[in-house]
Amino acid sequence: MEIVRKAQAGTMQSSDLMVFLEPAPQLRVEIDSTVKKQFEHLIRRQVETVLERFSITNGFIRVSDRGALDYAIAARLETGLFRACADQGELS
């Protein structure tokens, strides 16, 4: 899948996160989190796992996390990708 338009998913509530996506020539992931010191490595790993699963190779993905657990990160990123990518039908 390819990110072709700007999109976002999530909320800024505690234990949730916002994901912002936009097209970019390379793949870049930026993570901001209230628990960045303790969990940046795990948040990044989860984001990368999802991106790999959808074969995302370029785009700028910004995560603004408020202490979400892994399943919430996956869900919000998947929704964001669904909104940002061209071939929405293939998402399953």
Partner 1 sequence: MVTNNLGRQLPETFFGKKVQPYQDPYSHKPVGNHATRPLRRHNPGDNKLLRGLREAIEASGLKSGMCIATHHHLRNGDALLNLVIREIDNLGLRDIRIASSSVHPVHAELIPYIQKGVISGFECGVNGLIGEMVSRGELNCPIIVRTHGGRARSLITGEVVVDVAFIAAPSCDSYGNMNGFFGPSACGSLGYAFTDAQYARQVIAVTDNLTPAPLTPVSISQSLVDYVVEVNSLGDPRKIVSTTTQITRDPVGLQIARYAAQVIDASGLLRDGFSFQTGAGGISLAVAEQVRRMMSQARIKGSFGCGGITGYFVDMLEEGLFRTLFDVQCFDLKAVESIGRNLNHQEMSADTYANPFNAGAMVNLLDCVILGATEIDVNFNVNVNTESNGYLLHNTGGHSDAAAGAKLSIITAPLLRGRLPIIRDTVTTVTTPGRTIDVIVTERGIAVNDHQQELKQELIRRKIPVRDIHELRAEACRITGEPRPVEFTDDVVALIEYRDGTIIDAVRKVKE
34 near partner 1 (CB under 8 A):
yes
Stretch of residues binding partner 1 (CB under 8 A), selected from 19-27, 36-44, 48-56, 81-89: 36-44
**52: amino acid identity, one letter:** E
CB 9 within 8 A of CB 19: yes
Instruction: At 62, give phi and psi (nearest 5°).
Output: -115, 125
CA separation for the pair 28, 38 (Å, rounded):
21
> Is residue 77 involved in binding partner 1 (CB under 8 A)?
no
Q: Does 39 bind partner 1 (CB under 8 A)?
A: yes
If one asks whether residue 26 binds partner 1 (CB under 8 A), the answer comes out as no
**In what helix (H) or strand (E) does residue 81 lie, and over which residues does it extend?**
helix 70-84
Query: Considering only 3-11, 18-26, 50-58, 64-72, which stretch makes contact with partner 1 by CB under 8 A?
Result: 64-72
Catalog residues that contact partner 1 under the rule CB under 8 A: 14-15, 34-35, 37-42, 66-70
